[in-house]
Structure 1
Amino acid sequence: MTTAKIYNFMGLRKIAAGLSLVLLLISVASLAMNGLKFGLDFTGGSLVEVGYEQGPDLNQIRTKLESAGYDDAVVQTFGSPVDILIRLGESHNPKLGDEVLSALQADESQSLTLRRNEYVGAQVGEELREQGGLGLLLALFMVMVYVAFRFQLKFSVGAVAALAHDVLIVLGFFSILQLDFDLTVLAALLAVIGYSLNDTIVVSDRIRENFRKLRKGSAIEIMNTSLSQTLGRTLVTSLTTLLVLTALAIFGGEMIHGFAIALLVGVCIGTYSSIYVAANVLILMGVCKEDLMPPEKEEGEVDEMP
């Protein structure tokens, strides 16, 4: 019977901790200084959808809108190349759609169709922003409770530390590059939490199993064994997910571009954190075999046969 090769993951734990700390400091500093570039979903504004007969040039549309005085317009395709979505930070104006349509129709050979003219109030956007933040915090809290019941409190702290690490770095990525942060990106963050949690639980389950099964070996040696045994599964899952997300980011259109980018960054960071951050926290908290041994039966207690 062949034994899987054991890699010394924990030998790099101090370097990994330093890297994580640097990434977190950069992310927090950018969030504090630059903040996030919130999209229309959170800031409020108007949304106009225009239908073309043939796929237009988005740069020409932006130029026409700037000439008409709409300097803050965000133009993107919506579902197909002939459906154009225009986001404007304008106050509510029932005639805004007709005005935009007139500006775009100038010097245009094909006929255009106004398909939608909607307005999102600033109060609604603020409520969405607050509820989204509360949703992320609630998700992290529920994860902590679940892992504490399934494994042990130290595992719970490690899992939540890894998830918070992933979310902060994705937020920092969007803050540094000033990419639009809208509801699709918020949904991606929740998906990142789910993906990273699944990876962390698989690793934690193997760590618990090896602490109970292997009689010899230090905590670091058992960590290395567990991480090496789950490495193949982690890499295959991550690579196949990244292939799909890369295709979505390139060919999926602008509507889900932010969603795909957020998940790409989140999956990469989540794979790293499930190997290093969660396990590193367990080492720092001094996890040992006594923490994971099943409770001993009381004297006189026997298993009942059905």
Structure 2
Amino acid sequence: MAFRLKLVPEHTAIDFFRWQWLTFGFSVVAVIGSILIAVVMGLNFGIDFRGGTTIRTESTQPLEIAAYRAALAPLDLGDVAITEVFDPNFRADQHVASIRIQAQPGQDAMHPEDMARIEAALQGVDPAVVFVSTESVGPKVSGELIWTAIWSVLAGTVAIVIYVWLRFEWQYSIGALASLVHDVVFTIGIFAAFQIKFDLTTIAALLTILGYSINDTVVVFDRLRENLIKYKTMPLRDVMNLSVNETLSRTVMTSGTTLIALVSLLVFGGDVIRGFVFAITWGVIVGTYSSVYVAKNVVLFIGLDRNKEKKDPSDKFFSGGAQDGAP
């Protein structure tokens, strides 16, 4: 007999509404807290959104951040942030620094003369330093990128909500919207709380989170709609519990296998993609949570019209809500 790994028993009877006020209350507090943290602490915008120049250096000598900062101070470059980059894949004698310099007045990119002065100043305190890469973004471009990023996330959210509305009913779309807002805002709050660099790759991660989260939510909603036909007299709360239990094995397996790959990338992928991978990893966790504890709870609060029925919903491309059979 073939061996099959089962992370979840075939038949479970977990009451996901037992602590509904605690779980839903936690989600509401987390969203509000994330907004407050983002407003008070602000996001650690990368060079994409702040404008300026990022210089990546390497040296075989241990880094002295204070010496680097003292060497650049006389150059009058404005706001300069120097951080040491850590990565388990680095060699023992590989010391990497990231130097962020604000955009200079009237410059979209750092002039070669300024770059030469920076190189000379740093080589004066660390002759072994080498300059690996330089990235510049002008203030105008960075401002445009911020609005483009905002509109892209909003457009993705609206498109998903419209799809759910057409595929099911408007109540489902409200639940999906609440779940998506929860996932995105919670993720932004984590980035603000820990001051993780927020750049264009993070926006790509947020869009990926939207797709992953709604995929899991739609699976639960689809099973819910099927069970509403099968169990026409069962209370809505019990039907929802049954639907989540029936899809629990699929949810755990999908999220678990995805997290295995993401954690591997998080540990061994290097610092260049760490922010992107962290955002997706966190998004998978919080997206799975919201599919189980946020989306369906909102639908339950709103309620469903179970008296709507079409004679043959299978012949319609969009059969949303039509299969919620009447008792």
Pair 1:87 & 2:100 matched? yes
| Deviation, structure 1 residue 239 | 1.6
TM-score normalised by structure 1 residue count: 0.85
CA distance in 1, matches of 2:66, 2:199: 24
1:190 to 177, 201, 207: 207
Runs of 5+ unmatched residues, structure 2: 1-8, 74-79, 105-109, 313-327
State the match for 1:300 in structure 2: none
Letter paired with 2:311 = E
CA distance in 1, matches of 2:269, 2:10: 43
State the match for 1:253 in structure 2: 270
Pair 1:69 & 2:76 matched? no
Q: Show the 5 A alignment for 1:10-159.
A: 10-50=17-57, 56=60, 60=63, 62-69=65-72, 71-74=80-83, 76=85, 81=90, 86-91=99-104, 92-106=110-124, 108=126, 110=128, 112=130, 114=131, 116-159=133-176
Structure with greater proportional helix content: 1
Helix, strand or coil for the counterpart of 1:72?
Answer: strand
State the match for 2:311 in structure 1: 296
Give the conservation status (yes or no) of the 8 Å contact 2:205–2:280. yes
Give the conservation status (yes or no) of the 8 Å contact 1:97–1:116. no
Give the conservation status (yes or no) of the 8 Å contact 2:50–2:142. yes
Runs of 5+ unmatched residues, structure 1: 298-306
Residues 245-302 of structure 1 show CA distances to partners (whole Å, capped at 9, x for unaligned) of: 22222222211111122122211111110001110011011124335x4x236xxxxx
Determine what percentage of the aligned residue pairs are the same residue. Answer: 34
1:213 to 215, 230, 238: 230
State the match for 1:167 in structure 2: 184
Give the conservation status (yes or no) of the 8 Å contact 1:211–1:288. no
| Deviation, structure 1 residue 104 | 3.6
Pair 1:232 & 2:249 matched? yes
Letter paired with 1:48 = I
Give the conservation status (yes or no) of the 8 Å contact 2:71–2:125. no
Helix, strand or coil for the counterpart of 1:88?
Answer: strand
Give the conservation status (yes or no) of the 8 Å contact 1:76–1:255. no
CA distance in 2, matches of 1:60, 1:116: 17
| Deviation, structure 1 residue 75 | 5.0
| Deviation, structure 1 residue 64 | 4.1
Could you say if the C-alpha distance between residues 137 and 41 of structure 1 is closer, same or farther in structure 2, counting changes exceeding 3 Å? same
Letter paired with 1:287 = L
Give the conservation status (yes or no) of the 8 Å contact 2:52–2:102. yes
CA distance in 2, matches of 1:135, 1:225: 36
Could you say if the C-alpha distance between residues 274 and 178 of structure 1 is closer, same or farther in structure 2, counting changes exceeding 3 Å? same
| Deviation, structure 1 residue 155 | 0.8
CA distance in 2, matches of 1:254, 1:165: 27
Give the conservation status (yes or no) of the 8 Å contact 2:172–2:221. yes
Residues 217-264 of structure 1 show CA distances to partners (whole Å, capped at 9, x for unaligned) of: 100010010000111111111122222222222222211111122122
Letter paired with 1:289 = R
Helix, strand or coil for the counterpart of 1:287?
Answer: coil
Letter paired with 1:276 = Y
Give the conservation status (yes or no) of the 8 Å contact 1:74–1:88. no
TM-score normalised by structure 2 residue count: 0.80
| Deviation, structure 1 residue 56 | 3.8
Could you say if the C-alpha distance between residues 111 and 169 of structure 1 is closer, same or farther in structure 2, counting changes exceeding 3 Å? closer
Give the conservation status (yes or no) of the 8 Å contact 2:71–2:122. no
What is the aligned residue count?
Answer: 288
